[in-house]
Amino acid sequence: MSGPREGVPLAPLTTLRLGGPARRFVTATTAEELADAVLGAAEPLLLLAGGSNLVIADEGLEGTVVHVASRGVAFEDLPDGRVRVRVQAGEPWDGLVEQLVAEGLSGAEALSGIPGSAGATPIQNVGAYGCEVAELLHAVRVLDRASGVVEELPAAACGLGYRTSRFKGSDRFVILEAAYELARDASSAPIRYAELAAALGVEPGACAPAAEVRRAVIELRARKGMVLKAEDHDTWSAGSFFTNPIVPENVAERIRTGLPPEHPALPAWPAPGGVKLSAAWLIEAAGTQRGDAEGGIAVSTRHALALTNRGSGTTAELLRLAHRMADRVDAAFGVELVPEPVFAGVSWTS
C-alpha cells in the first residue's frame, strides 16, 4: 500500500474527467491493503476504482480517497460443471469479461464494454442488454466497517434489485472480492434484448457464440458513445446518467393516451412493481435534444442518457444540465428521473 498523498487530482481517475483533488489519497493493491486502508481512513471516505459511475465535486474531497487497485482472478471447477470465478475488487470489469469469454465461459458476454471495476458491479447490480450481475453473482467477501470483521455474504443477502443493492448508498460494507458462477460453454446465454438479437441475426431467446455476442455488444455500445475513448469527448461520461423509471401501469397508460397520433410509441416493459419506461425516450420527448449543452457539458450526440464533458466542463454545469432534463420530464409526464451515478462531495438534491 502506498503512503498517503495530499492534493491528488481526481478528475483523471474518472470517466467524466470531472472533480477537484483529494485531501488524502491512498492506493491499495491487495484485499488486505484495502481493508487496512479503510479501517485507518479519515472520514469522509470514498472508494475509487474505475471511476465510471462517479460524480465528484469541483472543490474536491475532504477526508480520504482509497484507490482500489487490487488485482487477481481465480477459477474453480464445480461438481455441476459450472465454474466459480473469484475476482479481486479492483480488477477491471471489461478485461474480466474478455477473459471469461476467452476461457469458454458464458453468461457475462452481454455485459461487455462496461467500464469500471469488478468490485463495483454488485453495488449497482450492473446490467445491460438483458443481463444483470445478479444472475451471475455467487457471493461477495466484504469488510464490515461496523465490526471490523471480514465476512462472505451470499448473493441472496446482497439485496440486489434494479440498479441497486444493500451496498448502494451505505458505507458499512466494503467489497474486497466478488465471486461469480458461469457455465462452461462457448455459446452465450439466451439473447433477451431485441436490439442485440437483431444485431446478431437471431431470434430473441436464441443463443449465439459468446465471442460474437461480446463483439456485437461492444459495437452497439460504441455507436451510442458508451465505449470510452480518450480522444472522443462524446464518450467522456458516466454512462447512463438516469435509470429507467418504473411506474404504475396507469401512469404509463396516461402517457400513452396523451401522445399525438404521429408521435413515436412509448417504450415500456413489464417490471416488478409496475412498468419500466425508457428514460432516454422521456428525455427526448420532453424537449431535450442530443447535443444540448450547459457550458462545457453536453448531452451526447449519440445517446440522450449520457451527459458528456466536452473537455472544459465542470460538475456544477453537469448538475444544472441534468436537473434541467429531469425537470422537463417531470413537467411533461409527471415522472421523476433518478440519477444513476454516485455523488461525492456534492448532492443531487441540494
DSSP string for residues in 117-134: BGGGHHHHT-EETTEEGG
Looking at residue 4, its pLDDT comes to 87
Kindly tell me if the per-residue pLDDT of 3 is higher than 70: no
Give the pLDDT mean for 272-285.
96
- Residues whose CB is less than 8 angstroms from the CB of residue 64 and which lie 6 or more positions away in sequence, other chains included: 4, 22, 23, 24, 25, 26, 37, 41, 42, 43, 44, 45, 46
At 326, list the grid cell.
429531469
Statement to judge: residues 271 and 295 lie in one domain: yes
Q: Position of cell 454488485?
A: 122
Amino acid at 114: I
Instruction: Look at the pTM and tell me if it is higher than 0.75.
Output: yes
Statement to judge: residues 250 and 278 lie in one domain: yes
CA pair distance 276, 293, nearest whole angstrom: 27
User: What are the pLDDT digits (tens) for 7-59?
Assistant: 999 999 999 999 999 999 999 999 999 999 999 888 899 999 999 999 999 99
User: What are the pLDDT digits (tens) for 184-240?
Assistant: 999 999 999 999 999 999 999 999 999 999 999 999 999 999 999 999 999 999 999
CATH number at residue 262: 3.90.78.10
- Domain-located, residue 2: no
CATH number at residue 39: 3.30.43.10
Looking at residue 43, its pLDDT comes to 87
- Domain-located, residue 315: yes
Statement to judge: residues 184 and 121 lie in one domain: yes
Amino acid at 153: L
Statement to judge: residues 157 and 275 lie in one domain: no
Residues involved in catalysis: 163, 240, 340
- Domain-located, residue 198: yes
Neighbours of 349 (CB within 10 A): 6
At 96, list the grid cell.
474480466
Looking at residue 169, its pLDDT comes to 87
Statement to judge: residues 43 and 145 lie in one domain: no
Mean pLDDT of the chain: 96
Kindly tell me if the per-residue pLDDT of 257 is higher than 90: yes
Out of 24, 44, 68, a domain closes at 68
Q: Position of cell 415500456?
A: 268
Out of 193, 223, 253, a domain closes at 223
Percentage of the chain with pLDDT > 70?
Answer: 99
Statement to judge: residues 251 and 310 lie in one domain: yes
The count of domains in the chain is: 3
Residue 269 has phi, psi (to 5 degrees) of -135, 145
Give the pLDDT mean for 270-278.
94
Looking at residue 2, its pLDDT comes to 66
- Domain-located, residue 337: yes
Cβ contact 173:167 at 8 Å? yes
- Domain-located, residue 349: no
Give the pLDDT mean for 132-143.
98
CATH number at residue 217: 3.30.465.10
Out of 164, 190, 223, a domain closes at 223
| E strand intervals along 109-211 | 127-128, 131-132, 137-144, 149-154, 173-184
Q: Is residue 147 very low, low, confident or very high in pLDDT (cuts 50, 70, 90)?
A: very high
CA pair distance 279, 313, nearest whole angstrom: 23
Where do runs of H (alpha helix) occur along the chain? Answer: 31-39, 93-102, 121-124, 194-200, 210-223, 249-257, 279-285, 315-333
- Domain-located, residue 269: yes
Statement to judge: residues 237 and 336 lie in one domain: yes
Question: Which range among 74-88, 159-173, 174-188 shows the weakest confidence by mean pLDDT?
Answer: 159-173
Sign of the torsion angle spanned by Cα atoms 273, 52, 349, 251: negative
Looking at residue 225, its pLDDT comes to 94
- Report the DSSP beta bridge partners of residue 316: none
Sign of the torsion angle spanned by Cα atoms 66, 95, 228, 281: negative
Statement to judge: residues 99 and 63 lie in one domain: no
Statement to judge: residues 206 and 272 lie in one domain: no
CA pair distance 86, 114, nearest whole angstrom: 19
Statement to judge: residues 120 and 215 lie in one domain: yes
CA 336 and chain centroid, separation: 20
Instruction: Please tell me the chain's helix, strand, coil percentages from 3-state DSSP, rounded to the nearest 5.
Output: 30, 30, 45
Percentage of the chain with pLDDT > 90?
Answer: 94
Statement to judge: residues 284 and 178 lie in one domain: no
Looking at residue 83, its pLDDT comes to 98
- Domain-located, residue 1: no
Give the pLDDT mean for 78-90.
97
Looking at residue 345, its pLDDT comes to 96
Looking at residue 93, its pLDDT comes to 98
CA pair distance 342, 350, nearest whole angstrom: 14
Q: CA torsion 220→222→224→229, rounded to 10°?
A: 160
Question: What residue numbers bound the domain in which 305 lies?
Answer: 233-344
Statement to judge: residues 159 and 241 lie in one domain: no
- Domain-located, residue 96: yes
